[in-house]
Chains A and B, each alone.
Chain A
Amino acid sequence: MVTSKNNAFLMDPGGVELFSAMLANVIKEVPVEKITHIFASHQDPDVISSLGLWDQALTTATLHSPWIWEGFIRHFGMNNITYSPIPDEGGSIQLDEVSLQYIPAHYLHSSGNHNIYDPKAKILMSGDIGAALEEPEAPLFVEDFEQHIPKMKMFHQRWMPSNRAKNDWVARVRKLDIEMMCPQHGRIFRGDDVKKFLDWFEALEVGILAG
């Protein structure tokens, strides 16, 4: 979650089963009415199936998500929240003093997918990119990049279908100044590990039946 003076921007709020834990944690930080924006990087249930409940908690919020998923995401239940479609080429959103950018990450893994980049904090919220399959008690940060590779490899090869889209993303992200890259699952990449990840990912062949 990113908070600005009057607004809170909640990213990939998660599945139905996590709703009360998520809202309880959010409420510890900000009052409910401050949550004015929700972002769903893509349509997956682990990203946004809690929408039907958020919709009853927040009546005036806006959901930002790739335009191609509007019809899909509505199935999670959306009567009050407004859908704001993000175009394929991305864009940005200004919340009081905070400015965030939508970085296109299509086909990684979802065919309509965006990352969030905070240029001031130099953080990239990379969604499923850089995600690792490991126990929930795993440490917060990547400690040894080489050792972390086996936990990421199969997921990236099996879930992500396009080398072209992948390399396109790597080129785009290389231009950003990133201090931390935070995937939705797994560990956070810091400093040099961000570059190591980009190099590794660029060289990786995806779209194969690995695993």
Chain B
Amino acid sequence: MSDSTNYFVAAAVIAAKLDRATKVSQRLSLTASNARVVVLRAGESAAGFRPLTDAIHSLADITVSSSKRINTIAATLSKTSVQMFRADRALKYFLDVYARAKGSPNLASLDESFERTKAEYERLSTLYRKQVKNLGDELSSIESELRSAVILKTLCETEATRAKGEYREAFISVSRNVESTAREIKELIGYSRRQVEILK
């Protein structure tokens, strides 16, 4: 594990990035809804686009729900790491007391507090490792979901060329939106993944 000042900062940074990812994913939902409206207006010429809007919607749903879930894990992790830091700090202070009050007959009376805090620290660090792993797994799974965004974008572009002139522009912008939001989420996830590596 990395040094004690960095790890809970990293956890807080991840929580913040994931919060951002949730908001971006919500924008993807909006794109899907807009696309649906265009499909309705465009009628037959956009028949091929209809299933794609469904796909955009479900990608948006998946990213929204999974980034919310990851966000919760990251927030919990952030809390765990602060508690762990506190226990760790208390242990350091206790060790200092052992050194300062060396030879005092009462010194053994600190053992119980020391052992309890140490056990608490160990419990927290096990929990912490579990939460870090959990977070890493969730991040990989959202990353692989996002791979479908590239395919979606290509399919959208292809369909856009088939659409009537006036709607073509709208479909092209939908495909661009899918691509740019997916890229933004990917960047946030990628950044969080690198932060998780620090936490390990």
Contacts and interface: CB of A to CB of B under 8 A. Distances in A.
A33 to B, nearest CB: 6
A32 B104 contact: no
Interface string A28-49: 1111111000000000000000
Given A20-B93, A57-B94, A30 B106 contact: yes
B93 A27 contact: no
A59 interface: yes
B87 A56 contact: yes
A23 B100 CA distance: 9
Contacts, number: 58
B100 A21 contact: yes
B60 to A, nearest CB: 40
A138 interface: no
Interface stretch (B3-11, B110-118, B192-200): B110-118
Nearest to B113: A57
Nearest to B108: A31
B97 A24 contact: yes
B110 A59 contact: no
B193 to A, nearest CB: 32
B80 to A, nearest CB: 14
Instruction: Find the residue from A23, A52, A56, A59 having the highest chain B CB count within 10 A.
Output: A56
A142 interface: no
A15 interface: no
A20 B97 contact: yes
Contacts of B108: 31
A20 B97 CA distance: 5
B95 to A, nearest CB: 9
Contacts of A57: 90, 94, 110, 113
Interface in B86-126: 86-87, 89-90, 93-94, 96-97, 100-101, 104, 106-110, 112-113, 116-117
Interface string B59-100: 000000000000000000000000000110110011011001
A8 to B, nearest CB: 11
B49 to A, nearest CB: 55
B180 to A, nearest CB: 42
A53 B93 contact: yes
Given A56-B87, A56-B90, A20 B113 contact: no
Cβ-closest 7 pairs across A and B: A31-B109, A24-B100, A20-B96, A24-B101, A56-B90, A32-B109, A31-B106
Given A27-B104, A32-B110, 19 more contacts: A20-B93, A20-B100, A23-B97, A24-B101, A27-B109, A28-B104, A31-B106, A32-B113, A33-B109, A34-B109, A52-B90, A53-B90, A56-B86, A56-B87, A56-B90, A56-B113, A57-B113, A59-B116, A77-B86
24 contacts: A19-B93, A20-B97, A23-B110, A24-B96, A24-B100, A25-B101, A27-B97, A27-B101, A27-B104, A27-B107, A27-B109, A27-B110, A29-B106, A30-B106, A32-B109, A32-B112, A52-B86, A52-B90, A53-B90, A56-B87, A56-B117, A57-B113, A59-B113, A77-B86
